[in-house]
Amino acid sequence: MKIVACNSNRPLAEAIAAYLDLPVCKASIRRFSDLEVFVEIHENVRGEDVFVIQSTSYPANDNVMELLVTLDALRRGSARRITAVIPYYGYGRQDRKSGPRTPISAKLVANLITVAGADRVLTLDLHAGQIQGFFDIPLDNLYSAPEFTKDIERRFDHGNLLVVSPDIGGVFRARSIAKRLGGDLAIVDKRREHAGISEVMHVIGDVKDRQCILIDDIVDSAGTLCNAARALMEYGASSVSAYATHGVLSGAAVSRVAGSPIERLIITDSIPATEAVRDARNIEQISIAPLMAEAMSRISDEASVSSLFD
């Protein structure tokens, strides 16, 4: 078993390698002067079970190309099996035709990864379940719910908790955590006028005097979360915290969260934290390295991955 780390999230790759007590494979992933990607693997990978770790976060196109070129280099180096470990699957929000003459980019990227040489994919909290069907190779989709549940149990008083989905589309995800906690569920109903802009309509469920915990998979502009938090406070919530797997946090998102009623936003390290995120007063990261490492070990041993969530 060998681990190859691309450049998008080396801290996570090194944490996974440390958990597995394995070295990171020696490799050069660099740019020519025109920014063309070049990859050279400095160890023998013939007949090896190789895991390539790369989140396709910002800059998404560069990181996708790094992953594709690395997969091709390993395939041509005669690796026995290549698993693309993609903690954050970029382009995952483009999972359907949203209008006439628009792409399904999540499917396009799946095709590229397959053609480049991946034999299987390991990812975390896909934005939409149907993306699993875009791949013609095995895909294991992990869930952050167990990690979030442990963190919530450590921080909050169970008797007054209320798990909240910030929109209708996230109900399944929020219900999963509410079920693990044995708690209640509420939903924020919103109407999205334009991409990245949301307008809260009303709250479904009784939130008065409850500790509300918003659950989402991606926080990008943070408009949805912040608007939902304000609505919950207007409906009488005693406090609002939020958990999101992938902290994209683009543009003014960090300052938006800082100026919102959200007491604490917990994200994972599927995407490396920027300096602004590290300095934010109410944003914290928890590591998914043990979860990813355990899944990788089970894949290598041909053991069950789904039993991680039993």
- Sheet with 283-286, strands from edge to edge, namely 197-204, 184-194, 161-165, 211-219, 239-247, 262-268, 283-286
Report the amino acid identity of residue 108: L
β-sheet bridge partners, residue 200? 190
Both tokens of residue 256?
């938006």
Angle between helices 60-76 and 105-116 (to 10 degrees): 30
Q: What are phi and psi of 45, to 5 degrees?
A: -115, 5
CA-closest candidate to residue 108, choices 89, 83, 124, 85: 89
C-alpha 119/C-alpha 179 separation (Å) is 34
Distance, in Å, from the CA atom of 197 to the CA atom of 39, rounded to the nearest integer, reads 39
> Helix or strand or coil: residue 181?
helix
In sequence order, the β-bridge partners of residue 86 are 123
- Please give the Cα distance from 164 to 170 (Å, whole number): 9
Distance CA 158, CA 181 (A): 8
Q: Give the C-alpha separation, 290 to 213, whole Å.
A: 24
Choice among 97, 107, 190, 208 that is catalytic: 190
> 190 catalytic, yes or no?
yes
Radius of gyration, CA atoms only, the chain: 20
Task: Could you list the beta-strand ranges (E) of 22-73.
Answer: 27-31, 37-41, 49-53
Amino acid at 50: V
Q: Which residues are catalytic?
A: 190
